[in-house]
Amino acid sequence: MKKPIELLAPGGDIDSIKAAIVAGADAVYCGLNKFNARNRATNLNFEDLNGILNLAHKNNCKVFLTLNIIIVQNEFSSLVSILNKLINTKIDGVIVQDLGLFYLLSNYFKGFKIHASTQLNTHNVGQINFLSKLSAVRVTLSRELNINEIKALTLIGQKNNISTEVFVHGSYCISFSGICYLSSVFGGKSGNRGKCSQPCRDRYLTTRQGKNYPLNLKDNSAYFDLREIADAGVASIKIEGRIKKFDYVYTVVNCWKKQIKSFYNQNRLNNDNSDLYKVFNRDFSNSYLKGDINKNMFIDNPRDYSIHRLTDNNNYPANNKMNENQRELYEEKAEITTSVKNKINQLSIAKVPLIISISGKLGTPLKVSVTTPDTSFIVLSETNLVHALTYTLNRHSPDQKDEAITIPPLSNNLCPENKKSTAECLNYDILSGRLKAINNTEYYIKHLDLENLQSELFLSFKELTSIKRRILCILNGSKEIVDPIDVPFLKKQNTLKIKPDLAVLISSRNDLYLCDKTSVDIFFQLPGFLKNDNCEFIDLFLKNKKLIPWFPCVLIGENYTAAVEFLQEVQPERIVTNNTGIAYEAYKKEIPWIAGPYLNIVNSFSLLCLKEKLNCYGSFISNEISKYQIQRIINPANFKLYYSIYHPILLLSSRQCLLHQVIGCEKNTIDEDCLQTCNKSSSITNLNNVSLFIEKTKGNYHCIYNNHNFLNTDIVTDLPDTFSGFFIDLRDIKTETKIETDKAGIITLFENLLHGDPESKKQLQQSIYPSTNAQYKKGI
């Protein structure tokens, strides 16, 4: 029989981790107080983590640490410090989003197993290959994929020694992960920094369809689909919920564990998921997994559905009966909480006590006996003990050929005789000081016994360090202790005078005239749904050599295959891509490529990663970060930086139809025809009277845009000699921003800005209004 699928549970705090362990989780994922994508969870400090590791491993449960946010430049010193601590723990893997962190781990901290976060939005074959280049051993696939797409990617992953992980329970996101900026733009709380405030769950003004929560999806649950997931070769099934409480974690993990046991032991699935409805839920859907993306995935209430389900599933003849059942459910919820609390109270994350006995006499090795509650072992010094005075005399003799040994400064720990010239004797203070690093692990020294150690003996600092390292290695599962790694940071290059170019993005054939009317670079965006019109786009680019392909964020299945075919046929001189799968293909085909703005690049190490690992030509810097965060980025030599100074602000992109709940549609389900031909727009308005603009264009996924476009003319003078090129997006996307000049005229105004025309900034602000550059001011 195949190895049973791993059940991976969330752990937002200590009690939730204990609950997952009690319920039978095979692994938990949790975060420290910094650098993880659930800022609102309680999370752990480093001291807690050591105790969690000990508890989990005693119960055959792995621990994966989430470091799954994008990391700004000034945080890397702190990050390296944390990595230097983590490398000497028993952590089973780290979950990563930032490409700069991938670079550090694959180049300097090679002892970690790297898991690619769902924030990387992995949905095509090229992205698996891209992550393989970055030393990932596991990938969390996009939640939007169906079972056939999961199976195909899992097969490719296995060929690259990468396992796959799939979310099977918990909250759905309305947006593709990693490219949702809704919380960032509206509240300054970036989802890519673990601060998402979930404005997609907010109430909006009632839509034409009578909906108050038009972006609110039901929860994901693949409880009845375990057989298909296992048959697809998935290694791990993941439960979402690091901001959920311990009773929720226990109940969900317990249900799934029973399902897994039933499947593997009896080859059948339980058909009762009623226990899952007894803890927080928004009702359930498995429609992404089934490839049936329909309007029933929405629910017009973001709160707990448990009580509503009673009403929905029972036609109560009277309120008395309904009230009685509701009371019973509340009582059952309270009983679950009490029961789980009693179970987890029996578990402890206290450190493991050690009794260390040290013995030895003159002319013999120092003997260190270490006893834990479960085992014991002995470590011997490699050299014999000597008398402290003899060692001192020998060391200062001109005929002495032994290696120089650094003796600590004189102190009161010297032997009583000849204090001014005698080496430090082995005593309690010396030995406890040398071994104190053990207290920074899952263990602590409860008692240090020196009763059988002869007095006035000496052993070198080097020998004591070797003993300490061997003890730590044994306690750490025979894993060698790694010395602190000093990561070299990029040094600021001599400032070169850069005359930045201007580039323009279009997506309509109606704008091709700009190729002849202007001298700027023209990027042309390819659609996400490319397969049916690929020949037409190949022909378009072959006939218009000035066009530079701009690849979208999402290219799934046959649309990714079509994009690869496009590269092969067109052989462009360079491309811009927001999809790492296409980045990999460009690297393989030796096509110069630029990392697009939606790859979320915010630090120098990410730039190094792109350049050194995948021969990247240049990169956009994310528009999420501020002037001061951009200033800290050091550009690698011979690498080009780009920045968008004008664009409609993408808030999110979704595989779901965003119009179902707003203006409605005659179809209940999205199909290929919708993606290929639908061309509609609408808007929703939040309770602060701010509108969000929904756009569905032919061949593309549904998107939501901010009411005001981004315009940042300040950066041109704020950060001179930083960027090789600036970018403006002139696609026809409707927002509240008005443009009073034709596209050729707008391009001229931006060219004047780059050429230093003092009037151009004012002219642009008068021609493009209203606009915002709040992200540039605030950052993340």
Q: What is the rounded CA–CA span in Å between residue 640 and residue 524?
A: 20
Question: Is residue 30 a contact partner of residue 52, using CB atoms and an 8 Å limit?
Answer: yes
**What letter would DSSP give residue 478?**
S
Residues of the chain with pLDDT under 50: 398, 400-414, 416-421
3-state helix, strand, coil in the chain (%, to 5): 35, 20, 40
Phi-psi region of 571 (alpha: psi -120 to 50; beta: other; left: phi over 0): left
pLDDT for residue 420? 43
**Helices and strands in the chain: count of H runs, count of E runs:** 27, 32
Residue 419 has a pLDDT of 45
Find the Cα–Cα–Cα–Cα dihedral 168, 173, 176, 182, rounded to 10°. Answer: -160
Helix (H) or strand (E) holding 548: strand 547-551
**Interior CA angle at 685 toward 680 and 690, to 5°?**
115
Structure tokens at 205: 């003004």
Task: Note the pLDDT tens digit of each residue in 655-672.
Answer: 999 999 999 999 999 999
> Contact at 8 Å (CB) between 645 and 730?
no
Distance separating alpha carbons of residues 310 and 329, to the nearest angstrom: 9
Beta bridge partners of 221: 169
Question: DSSP assignment of 621-689, as one string?
Answer: PPTTS-HHHHHT--PPTT-EEEEEEEE--EEEEESS-SSTTTT--S-SB--HHHHHH--EEEEEEBTTS
**Whole-angstrom Cα distance, residue 370 to residue 360?**
15
Question: Which helix (DSSP H) or strand (DSSP E) does residue 43 occupy?
Answer: none
User: Looking at residue 333, what is its pLDDT?
Assistant: 87
Give me the residues paired with residue 724 across strands: none
Task: State the Cα–Cα distance between residues 761 and 714, nearest whole angstrom.
Answer: 8
**Quick one: tokens of 137?**
């051993």
Amino acid, single-letter form, for residue 779 = G
Q: Using alpha carbons, select from 123, 79, 99, 302 the residue that is nearest to residue 198.
A: 302
